[in-house]
Amino acid sequence: MSTSGPDASAPFVTRFAPSPTGLLHVGHAYAALFAERAARAGGGHLILRIEDIDAGRCRPQFEEAIYQDLAWLGLAWEEPVRRQSDHMDDYAGALARLDGLGLLYPCFCTRREVAAEIARAGHAPHGPDGPLYPGTCRGLSPETRATKKAAGTPSALRLDTKRAAEVAGPLEWHDGAAGTAAAEPNLFGDVVLARKDTPTSYHLAVTLDDHLQGITLVTRGEDLFAATHLHRLLQALLGLDVPLYHHHPMLADEAGRRLAKRHRSLTIQALRDAGKSPAEVRQMAGFE
Ligand code: GLU
């Protein structure tokens, strides 16, 4: 379990941004402690953000458990806590700005239609989240869009990523572990920025919130490294501040599998119930 972290030479504002879709486990403890240490090392502070835009999967009791578990671990964070579901207007404003730049289009495809289109094409470029959207709705005429809307066909909003990358020009971002990277936003293709069921997306909400909350160092797991290429593009399009990043390794179990919800015995609550002390759990996460 690695504990190597950023070299904080300035007071960083960092954040821990869990989604209340389950109980926190040792891997979350590691991420939270990593963010806290990066902030405290330079005299900065830690912010806690509840990423609860996915109403179907988030539960109030998991949010409550986040506060309890983090406090039990000995973490302190700045108040107030930002809960994303309370800020849909901010995300709508960012979408309006992107729309004003002519970089969004409505997508009426169902998952099944996207899969069928990819199968029909015989091959599809793959991104970090699977096959890329084949662009079916990108070229729809204004009349077709209006007809589908009038018929009540649900639509998402996608970013015309290639065009957006052209508008933004070459971009870079810096990771404390990996160094400077040239942004490759096209990795994700025309990503959804507003879902059919929720008028925002992870990518939009997290990027805007990091700016609005004055985060200067984003620490998070390596699983989100690729997402930062896209976040960098959104920052450029929306005129947002660009934080430093530090993507850290993900904790794994003894078989080398990334910790997940199936590891019930490694939730902070289960460990506490089994008699572990906060210091012991911090140690399990690789922190003294
Ligand atoms: N809410 C995300 C998660 O729980 C983390 C997002 C981020 O750190 O950018 O995985």
- For the Cβ of 198 lying below 6 angstroms from any atom of ligand 1, the answer is no
- For the Cβ of 178 lying below 6 angstroms from any atom of ligand 1, the answer is no
Residue to mutate, 14, 202, 258, ligand 1, most ligand atoms under 8 Å from C-beta? 202
pLDDT on residue 37: 95
C-alpha 99 – ligand 1 centre gap (Å):
25
Residue closest via CA to ligand 1's atom 6 equals 17
Report residues of the chain scoring pLDDT below 70.
1-10
The answer to whether 265 and 194 have CB atoms below 8 angstroms apart is no
| Model pLDDT for residues 186-228, shown as the tens digit of each residue | 999 999 999 999 999 999 999 999 999 999 999 999 999 999 9
pLDDT on residue 6: 43
C-alpha 140 – ligand 1 centre gap (Å):
33
- Quickly list DSSP for 75-125: ---EEEEEEGGG-HHHHHHHHHHHHHTT-EEEE---HHHHHHHHHHHS---
C-alpha 259 – ligand 1 centre gap (Å):
15
The answer to whether 6 and 220 have CB atoms below 8 angstroms apart is no
pLDDT on residue 1: 39
Q: What is the pTM of this model?
A: 0.94
Residue closest via CA to ligand 1's atom 3 equals 18
